[in-house]
A = this chain, B = another copy of it.
């Protein structure tokens, strides 16, 4: 791809008028994107000394600074290394109508990590997949991603590095590594080129900018950026998907295939399972003790543990979570109750509020309701069109795959009760003063849609029971049975994982 790029030298005088009118247009386009609620991400990558910083400054000079945000991408810090590698990029995705401009990006992140030997070739390939997934998920959600790569030749880079190094004011910006990299330009060229080719998708194509000449670079960037936003606004106005102008032949990334596990329908669950008080007390002690020890091991091995609770209203999630949490060292877990999204959350990709709630590795993150609301309450209550919600099955599998790639154990519970049991519990709540806050009209309304929900849950479980993040349906008519089953499942999953990791047998 890079070898196709022709370095040009456009005269400033020849394009001054056009540049000036593109600048005016960019301001209008930024307002139009704001009005249309399109979030825009511009990534500025390229060779060292290619002029990324100054090109960003030129690009935004006339834009309203309240609507954009420029972030340099540095090496991840200690804190960032304790999260999935894409976490820090998810964290900063813009809200609808805002611009995020990155000096460097997820690309500089993986290329540096790979060149420095911090990640293996397999990990590098995995990250390429993660990037394609990330960009697809965002563009599917209406994000516009404009990827720029500033390309300069080896000679030009050498000239610039020397010039920077010889000036008292700028010499801090270059170091020995830059000169070493300049000497191995060919090797880097291949690496960049491969990375660009593998991520040159139709939904987020690359724009390689000839940057030996600064005016040419500025002019080309302006053309690309205005063109992309113009198309996006036009497409949005027509209700169509963006048609990006892709300068190079694009690829269709291989879709990660997920092997799904066969699961029973809810209707086939045996709802008569129960425990006696005595059996319960004994098992509770046993599994809580075991879990406490397992938490200690997870902490030392830095294994993140994600526990996701879903289930019918009044299914007993709260009490179940309590038995799990009370076994744990309280400094090592956090329970995240998920309510309706806030405005800042609605203004971003729906997975954002889950990405931002992940605790560090070695810790438990326990979700009380989860990202699965996307395929249950959202389409059923009409918050999200069915076609958009349906895309979530794949997105969720990808999300959970990224969690397990990070090293996490992902445990998902559906706490199941039958319709009669729910009625009994609703009534009990209504008749017990201290529990009345737990029951609302909405609960009764949801209950009327029981059959619709049951169908959605069956579908959800069948489409997202992957081998790396399987569902466990917990028979919940008897709360004691349900609590022990959940505790035991967590213990078993963690033991399996630790055994697998260390070849160690845990008893």
Task: Give residues in A with beta carbon < 8 Å to B.
Answer: 28, 31, 35, 53, 56-57, 60-62, 64-66, 69-72, 77-79, 101, 103, 318, 321-322, 325-326, 329-331, 333-335, 337, 342-344, 366, 368, 434, 437
Contacts and interface: CB of A to CB of B under 8 A. Distances in A.
Contacts of A35: 437
A318 B30 CA distance: 15
A437 B34 CA distance: 11
B70 A331 contact: yes
8 contacts: A31-B434, A56-B330, A65-B321, A65-B326, A65-B366, A66-B321, A71-B331, A101-B330
Contact of A330 (B57, B78, B318, B322): B57
Nearest to A325: B65
Contacts of A61: 326
Contacts of A77: 78-79
Given A64-B318, A64-B322, A342-B342, A334 B434 contact: no
Contacts of A325: 65
Nearest to A172: B300
B31 A329 contact: no
A366 to B, nearest CB: 7
A53 B337 contact: no
A69 B334 contact: yes
A170 B467 CA distance: 36
Given A79-B77, A434-B28, A329 B53 contact: yes
Contacts of A335: 65-66
B62 A326 contact: yes
A330 B66 contact: no
Given A35-B437, A331-B72, A342-B343, A337 B60 contact: no
A329 B61 CA distance: 10
Contacts of A62: 322, 326
Nearest to A334: B69
Nearest to A28: B434
A434 B35 CA distance: 11
A333 B343 CA distance: 24
Contacts of A326: 60-62, 65
A330 B368 contact: no
A371 B77 CA distance: 31
Contact of A78 (B31, B78, B333): B78
Contacts of A79: 77, 79
Given A60-B330, A77-B78, A342-B342, 11 more contacts: A53-B331, A56-B331, A60-B326, A62-B322, A65-B321, A65-B322, A65-B335, A66-B318, A71-B331, A78-B78, A342-B344
Contacts of A101: 330
Contacts of A31: 434, 437
A326 B23 CA distance: 14
A56 B337 CA distance: 21
A60 B327 CA distance: 11
A64 B72 CA distance: 41
Nearest to A34: B437
